[in-house]
Amino acid sequence: MDILFLLVPLSVVLVFVILGVFAWALQAGQFDDLEREGGRILEGEDGAAPGAARPLDTDQAADRPATGH
């Protein structure tokens, strides 16, 4: 029974924290345009992704030793 003196105020504080984070997300515009952001992942990008593999130049390929495979 004594644990309720800890859990009830703790749960009330947790509810206020969750409501505060939700209010911040609303003010920051996180929920403004869900359709555009959801469809953006399906669209192709014009440029290559950072760190994407690029073909070697012929000069760079000639400098590398043969692997023997």
| Global model pTM greater than 0.85 | no
Question: What residue spans of 1-69 are helical by DSSP H?
Answer: 4-28, 34-40, 58-63
Stretch among 18-22, 23-27, 59-63 having the lowest mean pLDDT: 59-63
Is residue 54 within 8 Å of 48, Cβ to Cβ? yes
Mean per-residue pLDDT over the chain, rounded: 82
- Please report which confidence band the pLDDT of residue 36 belongs to, taking 50, 70 and 90 as the band edges: confident
